[in-house]
Structure 1
Amino acid sequence: MAHNLNFNEKTDKYSFFSVQQKAWHGLGQIVSDYPTSEQAIKHAGLDYEVVKSQLFTKSSGIIQTTDSIEIGNSELEVPNYFANIRTDNNAVLGVVGKDYHIVQNRKAFNFFDAIVGGGDGILYETAGALGIGERIFITAKLPDYIRVGNGDDVTEKYIFLTTSHDGSGSITAAFTPIRIVCQNTLNASLRSMSNVVRIKHTSGAKRRLDDAHKVMGMANRLSNQLEGIFNEWAKVKVTDQEVKKLIQLALCPNKETFDLLKKGAEDEISTVFKNTVEDAFAYAMVSDTQQMSTTKGTLFGVYNAVTGYYQNVRKYKDDEAKLQSIVLGGTAQLKSQKAFELCTSFATDGVETLNLN
């Protein structure tokens, strides 16, 4: 995929920064230390504002009256539509309706700072702008961890936010635990709370964004429960046969396939689904990260086999498709949450979870 990073001709830099590691084709600014929100905005080239400007168009040039035809070239106002314009270079980012509400880039960073009650706890890791600045993204690491087993199996906790200035999409924030040893995104369910929040660009966006940072903050605090859950799962032993059955159930694409599994008619199941299951099962059996004391032959290993398959094995059209699938409510996230539910049930009911009757 082309990098599509915004290039700012005034500063002669790409609008992107990353802490310590190169990313996005090696473009942008690499900084050695985690920046404050104010520094991150500048490093990423996001220190611009957006305004709505009334749209005008040229007339057809022909004005016909009852007596004559006149040639003109007047401007006509386009009712109820506006252009979103960057104030630093007058670039037109997109056309929006009268009810569209701009959320400035700085407000997006304020969202992160509010989650931990100030800028000292949040660790901004990447941020940038795409295209001509019509879409921005930010990832930030939360200050604490989820530790499983003896502490060698560590999961970091991230918040990801993206928003657009062209009217094409909503503000989206996602809570994303990432297991360090294999960098697979867990996307675990947290009680009944969604780990993805979407907010439309309307007049209530500011209030809903304020509410959303509370939701993400609660998700962060509730994630402490995951440490207890994952540590319990690491003690629950499962056979290879049970691993494969749990993977089948987690990845099952529809009721038709489920009914075939229920009847034991695996010969009638699609080759695509069989191959998907075999790939995930192989990952569960042979991946180095599945040979740890916390994952080998354990329920926690089953869960990581599903999440790790989508992160490390599954092929995607491009990075954007992978992000959509894993973080922003796509297939990978849905299947990971299904795996979480199945593992929760197995930890309580054992093999009864595998009974399809």
Structure 2
Amino acid sequence: MMYVGEIPWHRLGTKLDQPATAREAITAAGLDYRVQLKPLKTDDGNDVPSRKAAVRSDTNQVLGVVGNGYVPVQNYQAFGFLDAVVADGGLHYHTAGALGRGEKVWMLAKLPGQIQVKNSADIVDKFLLLSNAHDGSAALRVYFTPIRVVCQNTLSLAERRSQGQGVSILHKGDLEAKIKEAQEVLGFATRFYDDAEEQINRLASHYPTQAQLSAYFKELYPDPEEGKDNTRAQNVRQELHRLFEEGLGHDEPSIKHSTWVAFNAVTEFVDHLRPGRGTNDVERASRRLDSIWFGTGARLKQKAWNLALDMTLAV
């Protein structure tokens, strides 16, 4: 992994001066390997004609098993289509890394401008998150990923109809097509962040009752089936109430006790306090990143966002 600027909260990666190209970022992040397709054989030596192994060139690790029609998108190809936008100052490569054995790679790119919540000191930066999977599990996609500066919470604000799945990129080889793809992505991003700013300010201008707040947290962390121990759910909800009062940046007068703060109590818990699994700190950080961007953490934050918007419309 590589990063630009301050050390990320997960403390992973190599610090780099502002990279000008995707290839520079990829090299610093240790992602300058290729993915090759190799034939598969059974234990007794028989060919498997319909499948191939996607193999990482530098370690010979098998990243996944794919069909014969699968064509790898190499790491420099996956992110390089944005180079033209970076060159004209419309975007900055910020962070890049890999998850697992390298089967999933990602890069954060920072867009110019910020969202200032209710004209306060609460600032949200605008990012694109690019992700590609070498195991055939997902296409090359771009997600719109706002990050709240004060606490580095990654916010999941996708529209309901997209289900948080981002924008697929159809990779074409010529430079003109790549520039067009990048411009289309920036167009999507502009519309997304214009809508996001309006919705964030709506949350920040709504103040839930205690009953609404309790119901909101219980919808996200409900009690288990009758007869089962509900201690964990109660403890999480208690922690969410604490974060609502004491979370990072929640004492800002213009947003205090708002639905925006309730939503950020959830994002702070998911990103920074939710227990992670792994045998060491690096593995736990990697799995947490995978969860908050692509897994159960992202889905929980998406649900929290939609429920928060619903709460502002409740009579």
Query: Shorter-normalised TM-score: what interval?
Result: 0.7 to 0.9
What's 1:243 paired with?
213
Q: Does 1:109 align with 2:82?
A: no
Secondary structure of the structure 1 residue equivalent to 2:161 = coil
What's 2:110 paired with?
141
- 1:289 aligned to which of 249, 253, 260: 249
Secondary structure of the structure 1 residue equivalent to 2:145 = strand
Instruction: State the alpha-carbon separation in 1 of the partners of residues 196 and 261 from structure 2.
Output: 15
Give the CA deviation at 1:281: 0.7
Secondary structure of the structure 1 residue equivalent to 2:257 = coil
Q: How does 1:1-357 map to 2 (within 5 A)?
A: 16-22=1-7, 29-54=14-39, 79-84=49-54, 91=60, 93-94=62-63, 96-113=66-83, 120-129=89-98, 134-165=103-134, 167=135, 169-171=137-139, 173-190=142-159, 192-197=161-166, 206=171, 214=184, 217-252=187-222, 270-317=230-277, 318-330=284-296, 332-350=297-315
CA RMSD of aligned residues (A): 3.8
Q: Specify the code of the residue in structure 2 equivalent to 1:287.
A: G
Q: Specify the code of the residue in structure 1 equivalent to 2:257.
A: G
Secondary structure of the structure 1 residue equivalent to 2:265 = helix
Give the CA deviation at 1:155: 0.9
- Over 3 Å counting, the alpha-carbon distance change for 1:336 and 1:85 in structure 2 is closer
- Over 3 Å counting, the alpha-carbon distance change for 1:31 and 1:315 in structure 2 is same
Secondary structure of the structure 2 residue equivalent to 1:195 = coil
Q: Which runs of 5+ in 1 are unaligned?
A: 1-15, 61-75, 258-266, 351-357
Secondary structure of the structure 2 residue equivalent to 1:336 = helix
Secondary structure of the structure 2 residue equivalent to 1:231 = helix
After superposition, give the CA deviation of every residue in 1:272-308 in whole Å (9 maximum; x if it has no partner). Answer: 2111111111111122421112431212112212222
Give the CA deviation at 1:112: 4.3
Secondary structure of the structure 2 residue equivalent to 1:187 = coil
What's 1:66 paired with?
none
Give the CA deviation at 1:154: 0.8
Report which of the two structures shows the higher radius of gyration computed on alpha carbons: 1
Secondary structure of the structure 2 residue equivalent to 1:149 = helix
Q: Specify the code of the residue in structure 2 equivalent to 1:322.
A: R
* Farther-moved stretch of structure 1 (33-42 vs 96-105): 33-42
State TM-score, norm by structure 1: 0.69
Give the CA deviation at 1:178: 1.1
Give the CA deviation at 1:102: 0.9
Instruction: State the alpha-carbon separation in 2 of the partners of residues 174 and 253 from structure 1.
Output: 32
Instruction: State the alpha-carbon separation in 2 of the partners of residues 174 and 80 from structure 1.
Output: 32
Instruction: State the alpha-carbon separation in 2 of the partners of residues 126 and 196 from structure 1.
Output: 20
Instruction: State the alpha-carbon separation in 1 of the partners of residues 229 and 248 from structure 2.
Output: 30
On the 8 A contact 2:207/2:257 being kept in 1, the answer is yes
